[in-house]
Structure 1
Amino acid sequence: MYGDAATIRTILDELGDTWAVVGLSSNQARAAYGVAGVLQRHGKRVVPVHPKAETVLGEPGYATLADIPFPVDVVDVFVNSDLAGPIADQAVEIGAKAVWFQLGVVDPAAYERTRAAGLEMVMDRCPAIEIPRLGR
């Protein structure tokens, strides 16, 4: 419902290659780290967004989306559902083209707000699963 194949293809193939990954830290045991590696291997520039603002996978990190000094195409969200809505709102504010809520991250109100603002959005999906599923 919140991640039809056409929208997923559009985000992965057409909306740009700069992905801010919110919740990405240098902790290699976390899902965000593995997914960010998959995104990089598929040609995406991964921008870590985490309060620690660490360099991860060779890319400098930023504490918030607003701190990123260049355009971001997609905001990939690895935070608890109760924190995800404000991140989606920030994605709208910075001019992102799409928001991607990871598996288990669900906020229907944020989905509606984000879509109403003109951004593409998927929710409760993982690009590391969708990329091979779509034959990318």
Structure 2
Amino acid sequence: MPVNHDRYDDAYLSEILETTRTIAMVGASAKAERPSHGVLAYLISCGYETFPVHPGLAGGEILDRKVYSRLADIPAPVDMVDVFRNSDAIPALADEILALPRLPRVVWLQLGIRNDEAAAKLEAAGIKVVMNRCPAIDRPRLLGR
């Protein structure tokens, strides 16, 4: 049954947030005022193993986490790819994700980010997709903390 990307069932989001252990954040920022920085800090505080991805910051650190240039550079498989990129960048990112040796279970596009064509392509490969949502908003609402 296809997922309704206009309204997600709480059980769908809860299952994702409860079973995810490792998260790659594409578009992570070292700037504390950026939303991606705050979301990364929150996810770390919740106990998720996180991998910031940002080509311009690769080799450095954000919140004591090594930054990677691209998803393929992360040395471990990830459960979720959390994305802070423009909606127009999502098709190319979907191709990058689908080329990984081990696919993530979930691709989560942050607030304001939606690309239905890329979502359909990812879902056809068995990857769950969430669009225009934030795990730092949904997790405390659904799971507490």
Give the alignment's TM-score, normalised by structure 2: 0.87
Q: Which residue of 2 aligns with 1:80?
A: 86
1:100 and 2:104 correspond: no
Is 1:66 aligned to 2:72, yes or no?
yes
Determine whether 1:90 maps to 2:66: no
Deviates more, 1:1-10 or 1:114-123: 1-10
Q: Provide the rounded CA distance (Å) in 2 between the counterparts of 1:72 and 1:92.
A: 13
SS at match of 1:20: strand
Matching residue's letter, 1:65: L
- Unpaired segments ≥5 residues, structure 1: none
Structure 2 residues without counterparts, runs of 5 or longer: none
Verify: 1:11 aligned to 2:16, yes or no: yes
Whichever of the two has the greater Rg, that structure is: 2
User: Aligned-pair distance for 1:92?
Assistant: 2.8
Letter in 1 for 2:123: R
Tell me how far 1:6 sits from its aligned partner: 2.3
Q: Which has the higher contact order (CA 8 A, sep 6+)?
A: 1
Find 1:119's aligned residue among 122, 127, 131.
127
CA RMSD of aligned residues (A): 1.3
Partners in 2 of 1:116 and 1:61 — Cα distance?
Answer: 29
Distance 1:90 1:6 in 2: 28
| Corresponding residue of 2:62 | 56
CA distance in 2, matches of 1:4, 1:121: 13
Structure 1 residue 25: deviation in Å?
Answer: 2.1
**Structure 1 residue ranges (4+ consecutive) displaced by more than 3 angstroms after TM superposition:** none
Q: Is the 8 A contact 2:14 2:143 kept in 1?
A: no
Q: Does 1:134 align with 2:142?
A: yes
- C-alpha distance in 1, partners of 2:92/2:123? 14
Q: What secondary structure does 2:143 align onto?
A: coil
Matched letter for residue 7 of structure 1 = Y
